[in-house]
Amino acid sequence: MKKWILSILLVVVLAALAACGSDSASSKQEKAEGLLSDGKLVVGVTAGPHEQILEKVKELGEKKGLKIELKVFNEYVMPNVALAEKELDLNVFQHEPYLNAFKEDRNLDLVKVGDTVNFPMGIYSTSVKDVKDLKKGAKIGLPNDPTNGARALILFEQAGLIKLKDDVGVKATLKDIEENKNDYQFIELEASQIPRQLEELDAAAINTNFAIEHGFVPSKDSIFIEPKDSPWVNIAAVRSESKDDEAVQQFLDLYHSDEVKKFIEETFQGSVVASW
């Protein structure tokens, strides 16, 4: 009888230990599925202003208990590829039209989770101080890639230089110019080369990063600049499965803090604009 009772007790104890082990394994599995399973949030960012801002966010994160690791890229393709392949938890480098076109082209399940900053595109000239002073037939440069080309055309319309067809939006091309009263000649060029060719043009639309590299201060040197509410605001992106992760929200709270906004204003003097 005693042996029988002991056998039952042994079975009960073993079952309890197995249950505890199962709970422990389950707990580890749940932890492994979160973005902070390895104790840090891995964020992809492009070199330059984005990297500078993220260094500030990283500094704040250390004080708030969120460890951030930055992976810096020098081009615009791999940050999204690396995010989709789970080498990153989040990235900050692009505007929404670019993300939408990229993920549609490559069938990636990535989503925007928040606004970051805007790098306002400007119109620059070495010969005139105001877009109204551009003469009839003036040569005006713009980027030759579809996304930035459309952005430049929208900027030209906002500056009163042309009128585009209704509703073309961020897919605008030179063929969508409906009105060009002053017969401006629009010349498509590699975006990074436009600052170097500016003296050969009467004016040109230049991306902020290339303008800064060339020594321009966009808020001071451009003769016309995008408004703050343009559709080209940069964003933070994640995989769809991670959009509600607590670490993502914590990151956004840090990014959207007064400390980061002050850093942006003091560091870039209007060349980069906080968009929240």
**What's the structural domain count of the chain?**
2
pTM equals 0.71
Q: What's residue 63's pLDDT?
A: 95
- Considering the domain architecture, whether residues 203 and 247 belong to the same structural domain is answered as no
**Strand ranges (DSSP E) for the chain?**
41-46, 68-73, 90-95, 110-115, 117-118, 122-124, 139-143, 163-164, 177-179, 185-189, 203-206, 224-225, 234-239, 273-274
Q: What's residue 74's pLDDT?
A: 84
Q: What's residue 27's pLDDT?
A: 37
In the predicted model, residues of the chain with pLDDT beneath 50 are 1-6, 8-32
Q: What is the CATH number of the domain that holds 246?
A: 3.40.190.10
Q: What's residue 36's pLDDT?
A: 66
Query: 86 in helix, strand or coil?
Result: coil
Q: What's residue 101's pLDDT?
A: 87
228-259 tens-digit pLDDT = 667 789 999 999 999 999 999 999 999 999 99
75-93 tens-digit pLDDT = 889 999 999 999 999 999 9
Q: What's residue 230's pLDDT?
A: 72
- Considering the domain architecture, whether residues 192 and 67 belong to the same structural domain is answered as no
Position 178 in a domain: yes
- Considering the domain architecture, whether residues 212 and 256 belong to the same structural domain is answered as no
- Considering the domain architecture, whether residues 175 and 243 belong to the same structural domain is answered as no
Range of the domain at 105: 41-119+232-274
Q: What's residue 169's pLDDT?
A: 87
Name every residue whose Cβ is closer than 8 Å to that of residue 45 and which is 6 or more positions away in sequence: 51, 54, 70, 71, 72, 73, 79, 91, 92, 93
- Considering the domain architecture, whether residues 159 and 77 belong to the same structural domain is answered as no
